[in-house]
Structure 1
Amino acid sequence: MSRLATLIDQAADGSRSLSDVIRQVKILAARIGDDTLARWATNELNGYGQDQDLPEYRARRHLPARGTWSGPGGLSVPGQVSPAGIAEDFLTIFSTEFREPVAELERLSTGDRDPMIKWDPYQVNEYDRRTRNGEGGARIELLVLSEAWLVVPRTMLAGILDKIRTRVLDLALALEDVAPDAGEPGGPTVADHQLGSVVQTFNITVNGDGANIATGEGARQRSTVKKGDLADLVRAARELGLSAEHATEFGAAVQADGGVVGARTRTFVERVRVGAIALAGDVAANVAASGLLELVAGFSG
């Protein structure tokens, strides 16, 4: 069985450890000579450092919080800790990023109950102080907040892991379509235009960087766009096969993301890549998706 066939089978098997799947990606990355893909696989296996940018599926999310209020005579009252009205500068205590290795996320997602992240004493005391001063939140009269924690829904963790698994599966299927022997010893590398286009699309979709992309064979032309020119971006998107309506939608997504490959742009490009958005002419969906990401790189400069 080929390396790609093995990767496809493992990624499609929900009972298979995601760590095993990503180790296969690491081997694939080494053999096709793509350092960015290898670095992504390493980060997923080892976890992301505090100074590293996170893929959008691991980005900061707001979570429900629970706490315990204490009072005279050992009174203890559990309840929900509300973020309502709390100033923006302190709202981060109700959120977290997900920097853990996939193996740890897998373990947490299959536990007997939802994992918890305890607030440190300063956060507990500061929240209690703000509620007593009428600065938002919720308090219980005559009681003080003695401890609090974020609750991480296991379904959320499962969703993060499923996104990773699906993206690996999509990558392997796309590679199998253009280079079935990718990942074999002595096989093709990212120097091959079609293979390189597929991998760079994956890298940009995951990392949101502005790396240049070769659109691959089958593209009618290599579209370019003037930096910061939204009308030119929409024009170039139409040259890649989008209708006027979809090109305008693409421009709006890029603009909403601040001119870079953000969540809305990724979602739009993914719709193009899977064929949910029809294209004019003979441009292949994966080629158009790569081209759109390249346009964003030019738009952002």
Structure 2
Amino acid sequence: MVDTTKPEIVQLLRRINEGATNSQTPLGEVLRLCLRLGRLLNNKELSDWAKAEAGGYESANSLPDYRISGTEVRGTFLGPFGSSLSNVSIPQAVVEEDHRETLFTVYMTQPVGELEQLVGSSEGTNSLSVPWSGNTILYYQHKELIEGLGLNAAWKVLTTATIAGVLEVIRARVLEFVLVIEKELGIDMMNYYDSKTSLETPTQEKINQIFNTTIHGGTNIALGNPGTTNQHATHVQPGDLQGLKEKLAQLGVTEELLNDLDTALDEDADSQEQPGPHVKGWIGRMMIKAGQGTLQLVSATATTAVMAEVRRFLGLPPA
């Protein structure tokens, strides 16, 4: 580590700390400061993350888990003689299994500023609608989801509380990162400018460790080249069975279920369809256990993350 005085870093840490703890400070402003801090610390991971949060993510594949949420779906159905049902809940069970993850999950790729605007402009309502695509509606019009009625419209219900929760997660993780960096640097914010304390800049390995622990809860997200891999990669790489098992274990999948998945993957090795029937059966059993409470996953939306990682292992898009 190099012994040096970094007054700009100290000033940035103080401003980020104040912005993250003040809900009136736009998150975009806080993240721009984080981007600057990443440049000063010469830490690309922090800079890339702050840039993605402030400017939006390029695809659902690069999203951190806290920006992915399972949702309720509601729809309008029309029938003969002017009969109809409006704003009725559509259960996952009536939708083809391969479509469930896509149709019952919201991937929030928007910049934080846009998410803040969605929450701020939602007075009088506690939810937003994310419509199914026209092609999806057309496909399920030919399926009788409700006897005697045809699907006319369907939409995912994204609550403003969910969006607000995402924003609070970002604030909390930024604050935690700053506090740990301050401690690592040995900064006393109250007395730093009086003492003119020299700072020992942490190594990149240490900064990365702090970033991975505080921002992504012990994992890292691949924001750049999708072909780049490392031992902290958030998303499983195709064919990486050990990586899949480690990721699913992090999500709360038990060793017994991991062994069952290993067997299912072997049994489906020659299947023309992927995921194959045995892996689909494994996913179904996992979801049932989670629903019954006999499998304690790390969050209410972790089943979606489990299915996404299995698909990534198979070389398929997560949705």
Give the alignment's TM-score, normalised by structure 2.
Answer: 0.58
Q: Give the number of aligned pairs.
A: 216
* Equivalent residue number for residue 166 of structure 1: 172
Aligned with residue 108 of structure 1, among 118, 138, 153: 118
In the aligned structure 2, how far is the partner of 1:45 from the partner of 1:94? 26
- Deviation string, structure 1 residues 40-90 (Cα, Å, up to 9, x no partner): 11111111112752211123x321111111234544420122222433212
Aligned with residue 12 of structure 1, among 6, 21, 33: 21
In the aligned structure 2, how far is the partner of 1:164 from the partner of 1:258? 27
Q: 1:146 to 1:199 in 2, by over 3 A?
A: closer
Structure 1 residue matching 2:15: 3-state secondary structure: helix
1:120 aligned to 2:126?
Answer: no
Which is worse superposed, 89-98 or 38-47?
A: 89-98
Report if the CA contact (8 A) 1:190-1:199 is conserved.
no
* Equivalent residue number for residue 67 of structure 1: 75
In the aligned structure 1, how far is the partner of 2:161 from the partner of 2:249? 24
Report if the CA contact (8 A) 2:13-2:182 is conserved.
yes
Report if the CA contact (8 A) 2:77-2:152 is conserved.
yes
Give the alignment's TM-score, normalised by structure 1.
Answer: 0.61
Structure 2 residue matching 1:30: 3-state secondary structure: helix
Aligned with residue 44 of structure 2, among 35, 46, 52: 35
Q: Mapping of 1:248-259 within 5 angstroms? A: 258-259=245-246
* Equivalent residue number for residue 175 of structure 1: 181
Q: Quick one: which amino acid aligns to residue 210 of structure 2? A: V
Percent identity of paired positions between Structure 1 and Structure 2: 27
Report if the CA contact (8 A) 1:8-1:169 is conserved.
yes
- Deviation string, structure 1 residues 141-160 (Cα, Å, up to 9, x no partner): 43211111111011111111
Aligned with residue 64 of structure 2, among 55, 63, 77: 55
In the aligned structure 2, how far is the partner of 1:84 from the partner of 1:54? 27
Q: Quick one: which amino acid aligns to residue 94 of structure 1? A: F
Q: Quick one: which amino acid aligns to residue 47 of structure 2? A: A
Report if the CA contact (8 A) 2:77-2:151 is conserved.
yes
Q: Quick one: which amino acid aligns to residue 124 of structure 1? A: I
In the aligned structure 2, how far is the partner of 1:257 from the partner of 1:15? 40
Structure 1 residue matching 2:59: 3-state secondary structure: coil
Report if the CA contact (8 A) 2:60-2:107 is conserved.
no
* Equivalent residue number for residue 147 of structure 1: 153
Q: 1:160 to 1:171 in 2, by over 3 A?
A: same
Structure 2 residue matching 1:145: 3-state secondary structure: strand
Q: Mapping of 1:1-301 within 5 angstroms? A: 2-50=11-59, 52-59=61-68, 61-78=69-86, 79-91=88-100, 92-110=102-120, 111-112=122-123, 113=125, 114-130=127-143, 132=144, 138-139=145-146, 141-179=147-185, 180=187, 189-191=201-203, 194-195=206-207, 197-202=209-214, 205=218, 207-208=220-221, 211=230, 258-260=245-247, 263-264=250-251
* Equivalent residue number for residue 278 of structure 1: none
Report if the CA contact (8 A) 1:54-1:207 is conserved.
no
Report if the CA contact (8 A) 2:212-2:219 is conserved.
no
Report if the CA contact (8 A) 1:190-1:196 is conserved.
no
In the aligned structure 1, how far is the partner of 2:248 from the partner of 2:79? 50
Report if the CA contact (8 A) 2:35-2:46 is conserved.
yes
* Equivalent residue number for residue 7 of structure 2: none
Report if the CA contact (8 A) 2:177-2:215 is conserved.
no
In the aligned structure 2, how far is the partner of 1:43 from the partner of 1:194? 22
In the aligned structure 2, how far is the partner of 1:96 from the partner of 1:30? 32
Report if the CA contact (8 A) 1:56-1:263 is conserved.
no
The alignment yields a C-alpha RMSD, in angstroms, of: 3.4
In the aligned structure 2, how far is the partner of 1:101 from the partner of 1:199? 20
Report if the CA contact (8 A) 1:116-1:151 is conserved.
yes
Q: 1:34 to 1:187 in 2, by over 3 A?
A: farther
